[in-house]
């Protein structure tokens, strides 16, 4: 009977419903390892590792329609290249990070994008996607990590607006795993070691938006792909309020390259003729339109 009770207790503890929920936040971070003023204001600071070896650590999570962003502060006063922040994504939201789940970890020198194949987490994805950076000061280390929400890569997470996933977050201090059993969910591959596990729901740019604003919240690119140096037409809408979106160009990792404009304030559909493709290397980019009250819209831009 005692054995049955222990098994039932372990099953209950491992359920995602027991995890801490971190509030949904819609925002974009610049992955440079610097917690700039206002950058993470949309996200809520969540205390983590409180019962482990790193009390005073905080986690921030937010997303836009391209990437999920994770910020982690740890009061580690010594900084080495082997200090790593880990995030494992429980896309199935079944309470454990196991077969088919996605992982990123970042340090001051690298981003490791991998997945669990049933035997090992050290299976690096063929396409490394995302970015990471860290800075250190007297207070501790601050890590920023981004990872795409939907890339089409079968090794990556694929989640959409309104979907709840789990994030298993832990930290390696000079190569040694540290953290705490704040939530008793098996975060590591064996399921025997545990660290902070939080629930997070992907934001929905359409929630509670005025229909009039949503009707004009769009963006289109012509031509796409575009040749280096060729003119690009960026079609966008201005809602009845007369407040245009903010247009910007981003790398696939979420780093903003440039603000685009000037834009019209007249309600209706407009086109911005942009001639900056000559300064871009061939590759994949995003053009994003941020609307007041209607969130973001993005289009993938391919430069050849």
Which regions of the chain are under pLDDT 50?
1-17, 181-185, 189-194, 206-210
Burial 57-76 (b: 16+ CB within 10 A, else e): bbbbbbbbbbbbbbbbbbeb
pLDDT at 152: 64
The CA radius of gyration of the chain, in Å to the nearest whole number, is 21
Distance CA 243, CA 107 (A): 40
* pLDDT tens digits along 214-233: 677 788 999 999 999 899 99
Q: How far apart are CA 285 and CA 249, in angstroms?
A: 7
DSSP-assigned letter for residue 99 = T
Bridge pairing between strands 20-21 and 196-201: parallel
Instruction: Report all structural domains of the chain as residue ranges with CATH numbers, in order of start.
Output: 2-201 (2.60.40.1190), 211-303 (2.60.40.1930)
Pairing of strands 123-124, 246-251: unpaired
CA of residue 131 relative to chain centroid, distance: 10
CA–CA dist 180, 193 (Å, integer): 9
Look-up of token digits 């795409």: 148
- Please give the pLDDT value at position 69: 94
Q: What is the pLDDT of residue 86?
A: 82
Q: Rounded distance, CA 230 to CA 70, Å?
A: 36
Name the one residue in this structure whose structure tokens are 């359409």. Answer: 206
Nearest in space to 203 (alpha carbons), one of 87, 42, 18: 42
Best CA proximity match to 196, nearest among 86, 36, 294, 69 = 86
Distance CA 114, CA 98 (A): 12
Distance between CA atoms of residues 204 and 162, nearest Å: 6
Render the burial of 124-149: b for 16+ CB within 10 Å, e for the rest: ebeeebbbbbbebeeebbbbbbbbbb
Tokens of residue 70, six digits = 């994770």
């Amino acid at each position: 009977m005692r054995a049955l009770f222990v098994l039932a207790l372990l099953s209950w503890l491992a359920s995602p419903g027991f995890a801490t929920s971190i509030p949904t936040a819609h925002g974009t971070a610049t992955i440079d390892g610097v917690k700039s003023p206002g950058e993470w204001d949309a996200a809520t600071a969540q205390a983590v590792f409180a019962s482990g070896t790193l009390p005073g650590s905080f986690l921030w999570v937010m997303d836009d329609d391209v990437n999920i962003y994770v910020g982690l502060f740890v009061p580690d006063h010594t900084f080495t290249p082997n200090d790593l922040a880990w995030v494992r994504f429980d896309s199935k939201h079944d309470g454990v990070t196991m077969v088919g789940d996605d992982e990123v970890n970042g340090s001051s020198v690298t981003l490791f994008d991998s997945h669990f194949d049933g035997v090992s987490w050290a299976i690096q994805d063929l396409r490394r996607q995302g970015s990471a950076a860290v800075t250190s000061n007297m207070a501790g280390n601050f890590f920023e990590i981004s990872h795409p929400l939907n890339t089409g890569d079968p090794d990556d997470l694929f989640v959409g607006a309104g979907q709840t996933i789990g994030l298993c977050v832990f930290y390696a201090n000079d190569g040694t795993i540290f953290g705490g059993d704040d939530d008793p969910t098996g975060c590591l591959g064996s399921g025997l070691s545990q660290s902070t596990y939080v629930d997070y729901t992907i934001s929905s740019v359409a929630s509670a938006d005025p229909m009039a604003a949503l009707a004009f919240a769009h963006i289109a690119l012509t031509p796409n792909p575009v040749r280096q140096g060729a003119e690009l037409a960026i079609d966008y809408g201005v809602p009845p309020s007369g407040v245009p979106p903010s247009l910007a160009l981003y790398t696939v990792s979420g780093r903003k390259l440039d603000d685009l404009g000037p834009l019209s304030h007249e309600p209706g559909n407009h086109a911005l003729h942009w001639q900056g493709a000559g300064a871009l290397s061939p590759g994949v980019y995003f053009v994003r339109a941020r609307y007041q009250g209607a969130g973001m819209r993005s289009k993938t831009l391919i430069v050849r």
